[in-house]
Each structure stands twice: as structure tokens, then as C-alpha cells.
Structure 1
Amino acid sequence: MNDLITGASSSVAPAPPTAHLLGNVQDDWEAIEVWLAILAARPVSPATLATYRREQRRLYWYCTRFGVAPLRHWTYQEVAAYLSFLRKRVSEFACPSGLRPDHADWTPFRKGKLGESSIAATVRILNTLFSFWQEAGYRATNPFAAATRSPRTAENRGGRAVPPDALELVRQHMDTRSRRTARDHLTYWRNAFVLCLLERTGLRANELAQANMTDVHVVPDPKTARHYWALKISHQKGGGTGIVPLDSDVMQAFFRYRKAFELPEIPAYDEDYGLVLSPHTAASQDAMVHTSARARRGRTMWKSVRTRQSVWAIVRQEFDEAAKWVGAKSPEAAILRRASTHWLRHTRGTTLTLQGNELRLVAKAMRHKDPRTTMLYTDLDFLDVVRALDTGSG
């Protein structure tokens, strides 16, 4: 057997605790179910739970396929071996198309490759799991804790934010790109809105994908008699709802975007569109009506983009094309090739901080639920945030 596997199982594991708070669990997989049940009770979003379930399936397949040590006995060696497997050997076990999980040849690796961002997410999730087990007394240590710590280099001290110069290059490329077809025209205005919205609000990709046109609304301020545009967030990370202010730049991009899709500036209360539209039209349920794409466009029969992967792909395509346009040796190109939707969230937080806003205001504007992310929570509500930001921009 490969040294990657045999080397991992030869380490000496510490003896597991004799008592813990997980109840009558028979093995590690039942112990994971307790963890997931606790998470679901908080609650966390369905998307987050689905991601954790995916990591559970990967772990189970890996441990079963290679007969490695039980999770409750894992040490640094097992962690290193698993991460090495994810980086170097996943391509050997790509799942054939169409196989169900009960098939003997099924694997939890559909694409046959994991990027560094996916592996980093795996480390964070498993660090959470093993920390939970440690707190519950199921394990004495957490071997994933070391894997989540990285040196504080000059690059990562500032966070992964996209510099203004790089974003300006993206916009310049979009403005100069040829728009020959109706699809090109629609894609341009849609993507311009998506990039502006993510940069100016710090929305997460999943929050944007699940938002509807009708979530854009006006909030009256009884103190100042002003009205502010806002976006309701129905699927926040960790569950619950939220609200973010939409400034004039975002709203102008929103109005132009809707006009391009032949929709009125203000969404109707009964409109049934997602906030992000596809330039492709939806097929009619009646095969005899609106059979051409042009006819469906005329009837505004648009598809909605509903997955965070699709939102990510929109941003990545614009960043990749801009990086090629500006030249491979450009420092902006190097940043754009690595940046993602979440980098735009960091961009928003960095911008708010550099503007001199108090960290508690930044925390509220970014909807940080963990006080360690910025500062302890305050009693600032939405109108406190939007008044302060409005004054600062003024």
C-alpha cells in the first residue's frame, strides 16, 4: 500500500477519554451525527449542513477505503496523510458519471480534483468537528488545530481583499469588450451589477444566489424622514435573516441591469425572479407558445441563477478575462487570478475600516455573528448603520 496510507496508520495514538458528553455513541460516525444535530439546532443554513455532510461522506469513504485509524485516534500524521491524499491522489478516484452512492465504484469526488480553497474549507470544517469532540471529552486533543494556523505574512495580514486598481481594471475590460449579441448585452449589465453589489455590500455568494428581486425595498427613517434602499437577506450564514444598505452606485447598476432585461426599474410585489438572472430564457410550459428565444426574451421569461457556484463562476470569469487582458506579468493579474467572491466581501470590510469607521459599526455592517471576527456586538440597528455610512460618504 502507498506510503501515504501506511505511514499514517503507524503513529502511536493517545488513549481516548473514558467519559464524554456525546451519549451512547458506538463509533466516530455516530459521534459526527451528534455534532451535526447540535449544529442543526442552532440553527445553521441548509447549505452549511449540506457542506458538512459532504465532508462526512469524504471522511467515511477515505477511512473505509484505506482502513486508516479511527478518527478518535487521529494524530498529526493522520491529518497530514489525509490532506496529502486530497491534494495529490483524488484524481485517481474520480467518480464515474451517473453512479449512485450505493454503487461499488462510487466515490465522493465527482470532479477528480480539489482546489486549495476546497481543501482549506475541509480543514476549517474538520477543525470545528474535532474541537467539538475535544470540548465534549470524546477526544483529548484536536490535531486539526495546527493545520488551521498559518504564518502572518505581509500578504495575509491585510486579508484577501481586491485592491481598487484591480477592480478598476475589471471594469475597464468589461466596458471595452465587444457586445455583439443580445446575450452579450445582457451578460454585461448583469455582471456589472453583481460585481458592484458584492463589492459595495459584502454579500456572500450563497446569500446573493438565494435573494429575490422583491428583496430590494425601501426602509423609511422616522428620525430623518429619509428613505434608504436596502436588501433583505433571507438566507444568512448560520441561519436567520438580515438586511444590508444599497447605496446609489448599487441602485444605479440595479436599474440599468433591470432595464437591459426589459424589466421596470422597481420590482413588482408579485415578481417571481431571483436577484441574479441568466441571459438565457426559460422554456415555456406550453410547447406551442414562445418557442423561440427572441419571443421568450420579449416576454421576459428569464431563468434565475440560484447556486453560489454560478455566482462564483460569474465573478471568476470576469476576473480571469481581465487578468488575460492586462497581461500575465501584471501584479493586478496575479491578484485577479486568485480572487473570488469572498475576496469581494473582504474588500468591503477593508474599505469600511480604512474609511475610519468604528470597528463595531464595521461588524454590524458586515453582519458578523462571531464577535471575534471584528468586535463585540453592539446595539446598533440597521438605521444606525445606514445613517453613519450615509454621513461618511457625503
Structure 2
Amino acid sequence: MNPASWIDTAASPPQRLPETIDAALAYVADAVGHPVHTRWTLTRLKRGCPSLADAKREHPAVFALLLEHDVAVEYWDRGRLRIVAADDAPAPETILERVLHQHRRRFHEVADGNARVPASAAVPPAATATTAVWLAALEPPHTVATRVSSAANATSATPATGAWLARAGRFVNPSMVTNTLGVADDAQAVILFLRDRASRSPHTRRAYLADLKRLIAWCEREQLGPLSDLTRHDLLAYRREVELQPAHGPATGEATLPGSRQPARRGHRVATGITRLRSAAVPARALAVVSSLFRYWLKTGYLIANPAADLSGGGAARAAWTPTRIIPARVVALCDALVAGPAPTGLTPPVWTRRCAIWSLYRYGGVRLAELVWSEALGLPRLDVDADTDTDTHWTLHVRGKGNKLRAIPLPAICVPPLRAYRLARGLTPEPGAFERLPPVHSEKRDALGASGLYDEVKAVFHAAEALVAPGDGVTLALLRAASTHWLRHGYARTLVVDHAVPLPVAQTLLGHASVQTTAAYAKTDLTQTRAFVEGSFPNIDR
């Protein structure tokens, strides 16, 4: 292969890899933050360590291999380091090509080795979203006469495209001096809103798109629009319709099984209740998205007024919110016992230790699902280790949360052994180095596990825990089948706020909540603590 035919698009400006294999391997290792190909000999091992005892402690696998072979090769393969004798290792060219393909979002191969490096290559294709994509996702049925046919035509959404959103209403700010978005129609303004507020999490983006499509479909039915033309009277009418929608759902009361008049099993009633709780939150979320859109447009100067002010209730709605999707301690204990036990039959140690590490990070870190998704640009999430003494170490998880806010989460000691075991199974040192730039969770096919993969691993733990449920316990089975990563986050928050009375500002920082009211809502899930406070304030006096 020719390394110079590959371009590093993350560099500024984009640049080619060195022409020689050794130089290209060194460049890629420095760029991705982990070893790619290292040729070990006893001389090299002793050169980097004060003594052989230190070399044995820092590189045990390499040391053991060099006792039997003259040369050992350490190379990166499918998300982990492998160490083999030199005769058993792949060729350096093969290793380099594999790593480049694993990081194909960053490194691009050009067919012509003498071709000029395009300036646009600095932005990976996955990081850009064309107007055509967003318009296609937002278009309601029977609205658009013609669709955008190519990305070239989509770079400027105009009424000629026929897109319902590609218009401007009466409240649009015509002055480009104060309109900081720099756009003149709703289509482009919606795209910028989604990019700034929902680009981090695919689940958030999907929810925002669904709620905006619902509003657009309603506007079409009422022959209103575009969005920047809606008055407060229009939005209040939309709110009334959205709030009435749950009333048309299943009637409250005791659930029955389909085709039967007999009461359902208790486990089925629990699952039905969970579904109803989720559906009850839909109107509030739909209105919150609309309010957020118009608030963003006003703040950025795209609109001259905000007809959606206080549409979703604001702080009052947040204060009335109570978390409900919380796993009882006895159910979590079943999952913890499963994770602490031996690997199930059929799972290799790397796969099982990875699943245990993922469970521990969500269980004891209280992070959102998307916060464990690896970002190559930021090098997050990241694990740091601070050593007070030779035996006392403290692990910290650094993530990027909602609103691109960075936060550091101290991990309890119980979370450390699964992480160390996973790193060892992956071929890494037990603790991350000071300048390590690696995804905390790897994928067998790519450099990092995505949101769906992380979600599936946690669901696999819940599914496996069903085998530990006592016969006839339908409630626990229903909870395990409905639970997800966010349920673990709710449980983490409840443990802080209710079980251990952590000060609300501290819990708010750990959870990454924008408002302390959201954190305080977890205190509503249990009256034991507040009852004790009241009893202590008014002691019983015998007369």
C-alpha cells in the first residue's frame, strides 16, 4: 500500500500521511492516541525501564514473550492490543491498512496519489447534515409538491423547491444585522436549531423531529403556516389539541388482556402502567420542543417576537415533574449479582468483561446513553486516574452532556474492578495513562461502540437477569423487560438524593441537570426521609 494516498481529514489543514510505512505507523499512533505497531526487543524494553523488574511490571506480556523469542510485535487489531512473536504477526502494511479502515471517518483514501487535498476534507462527511436531509425528515404528508433532488440544490432552500418550511412568516426579522442566524426562511432556521440543540444525541434528534412534524401536520390541516407566521392564538389552539390527545388513549383503571374481560396479570398491569406513564409525558415534551424552538429563534434574532412564551409551563411544569422509571433496589441487586458472577456460556472474556464495564459505568456513573458515545474530535468520554498513594487510586469519568457541557464524575471503588478487568482483556494497561486517547468502550468492528451497541449491552444484562427471577414474580419480569439505561440514571439520582441525602447542588452537578428543580424531583419518589424530618421537628410529647 501507499500511505501517502491517505489523508488525515482531522488535521488543520488536512494533510497526507508520510510516504514510508514506519513513519506512517508513528503518525497514526500519535493521531489516534494508542499504539499501532511496536517491535519489541530486550534492548528496547530495558531502554524504556530503569530495571528488568520494572519492565516486567509495566509490560508483563511483552516480557514473558521475549523470554522465548528474540522479537515480539505489539499491534492494534479490532479495538484491542495484541502481542505475538514476530513470525506470527501480520505485516506492518496490513496492520496500518486495518487501522486506517477502522478510523475511516478520519482517514480517507484518494484514488490519485498526486491529487490535491481538498479543503472541505477537514470536515468529516458524518459531521455535516444537508438541508435536503432535514427537510425530508420534517416534511409532513401531502404537503410538498416537489422534493429536493440533490444536495447541490438543497444548499439553499427556497420557495421554488416547494418545501413547506422554505418560507418566512410575519415575525421573521428582516435585518441581517440583528438576525444572527443569517438565514431568511424557516427551513434553514429549523436546521440550525436541530444542529445546535439535538445533534449530540440521535434519540433527542429523533424525538425533536417527531414533535416538529406533528406541529407541521397540524398547521397543514388548519391551513396555517409557516411556523414563523403562527400567532399566540394559533399555538394555544395547538396546545389544547395536544393536551387532549391522551384522553383518547386507553381508559384508566384495571387493565385487561386482549380478547378477555378478566383482569390482567399483575406483571402485565405493571407493563401497561409503564406505557401509560410514557404516553402521559408526550404532550409536555411536544410543547417543550415547540417552546424551545421559538425561544431559540428569538434569542438568535431570527424572530422579532416569541408567540410561544410560557407555552409549555416552563418552571411550573418542571416543578411538577416526578421521575417514575426507577428500578427497585431488589431488581438492581439481581443484575449486580449477575455481573459479579462468571461469564455465561458462549461469551468470550473480552465480550463479557466489556458488558460488565458498560453496566458499571451506567450503574455507578449515572450518565445518559449518548454520554458514553465516543467523540474523536473531543476525545470524550475519558477515564482519568489520580493516585493519592501507591495503593489508593481514584477514577474519574469525563463526559460531554446536554448543551455541550463538560462534567467530571467521580466513580466509586466498586466500579473500578470491572473496568480494570475489561482493559486487561482488551490488551491495555490496568489503568489509563495520562495522555491516553482511547474510547472507554471499543467495538469489534470499529474503533468505538455506538449508542445502539451500548444500549443493547445493558439490555442484555436485564434480559439475562430474568433467569434469576423467582417463578411467578411477574412484576419483576415486567420491570426487567421495560428497563433501559435511563432507568439506571434515575436510580443513580434517587440513591444520591433520597438514600444518602446528598446536597441538591452537588447532585445536580453530578447528574448534569440544567435546573436544580429537576434534581429535587427525585425527593418526591420517597416520603421516608421527609417524614423523618417532620417527626423530628414535632416530637411526640406524652402528657
What TM-score do the two structures reach when normalised by structure 1?
0.58
In 2, the alpha carbon distance for the partners of 1:123 and 1:177 equals 47
Seen in structure 2, the aligned counterparts of structure 1 residues 262 and 181 have a Cα distance that, compared at 3 Å, is farther
Seen in structure 2, the aligned counterparts of structure 1 residues 271 and 49 have a Cα distance that, compared at 3 Å, is same
CA shift at 1:270, angstroms?
6.3
Confirm whether residue 351 of structure 1 aligns to residue 495 of structure 2. Answer: yes
C-alpha contact (below 8 Å) 1:162/1:344 kept by paired residues: yes
Q: Give the superposed CA RMSD.
A: 4.8
For residues 241-280 of structure 1, the aligned pairs below 5 Å read 241-268=406-433, 273-278=438-443
Highest CA radius of gyration, 1 or 2?
Answer: 2
For residues 380-391 of structure 1, the aligned pairs below 5 Å read none
In 2, the alpha carbon distance for the partners of 1:352 and 1:163 equals 15
CA shift at 1:65, angstroms?
11
Confirm whether residue 342 of structure 1 aligns to residue 509 of structure 2. Answer: no
C-alpha contact (below 8 Å) 1:22/1:31 kept by paired residues: no
Instruction: Specify the code of the residue in structure 1 equivalent to 2:374.
Output: Q
Seen in structure 2, the aligned counterparts of structure 1 residues 173 and 266 have a Cα distance that, compared at 3 Å, is closer
CA shift at 1:77, angstroms?
4.9
C-alpha contact (below 8 Å) 1:320/1:336 kept by paired residues: yes
Secondary structure in 2 matching 1:230: strand
What are the ranges of 5 or more consecutive residues in structure 2 without an aligned counterpart? 1-140, 143-168, 250-277, 521-543
Confirm whether residue 316 of structure 1 aligns to residue 465 of structure 2. Answer: no
Secondary structure in 2 matching 1:217: strand
Secondary structure in 1 matching 2:398: strand
Confirm whether residue 229 of structure 1 aligns to residue 373 of structure 2. Answer: no
Q: Partner residue of 2:332? A: 167
Q: Partner residue of 1:92? A: none
Confirm whether residue 198 of structure 1 aligns to residue 343 of structure 2. Answer: no
Instruction: Specify the code of the residue in structure 1 equivalent to 2:398.
Output: K
CA shift at 1:186, angstroms?
2.8
CA shift at 1:143, angstroms?
5.4
The partner residue of 1:128 within 278, 292, 312 is: 292
Instruction: Specify the code of the residue in structure 1 equivalent to 2:426.
Output: F
C-alpha contact (below 8 Å) 1:209/1:308 kept by paired residues: yes
Confirm whether residue 189 of structure 1 aligns to residue 334 of structure 2. Answer: no
In 2, the alpha carbon distance for the partners of 1:330 and 1:269 equals 48
Confirm whether residue 209 of structure 1 aligns to residue 373 of structure 2. Answer: yes
Instruction: Specify the code of the residue in structure 2 equivalent to 1:215.
Output: R
Q: Percent identity?
A: 21
CA shift at 1:174, angstroms?
4.8
Instruction: Specify the code of the residue in structure 2 equivalent to 1:55.
Output: Y
In 1, the alpha carbon distance for the partners of 2:340 and 2:381 equals 28
In 2, the alpha carbon distance for the partners of 1:177 and 1:338 equals 25
Q: Partner residue of 1:108? A: none
Seen in structure 2, the aligned counterparts of structure 1 residues 361 and 157 have a Cα distance that, compared at 3 Å, is same
Secondary structure in 2 matching 1:362: helix
In 2, the alpha carbon distance for the partners of 1:322 and 1:75 equals 47
In 2, the alpha carbon distance for the partners of 1:20 and 1:311 equals 42
Which shifted more, 349-358 or 72-81? Answer: 72-81
CA shift at 1:255, angstroms?
1.0
Q: Partner residue of 1:333? A: 477
What are the ranges of 5 or more consecutive residues in structure 1 without an aligned counterpart? 7-16, 89-114, 283-302, 376-394
Q: Partner residue of 2:307? A: 139
Instruction: Specify the code of the residue in structure 2 equivalent to 1:161.
Output: I
Secondary structure in 2 matching 1:231: strand
CA shift at 1:324, angstroms?
6.0
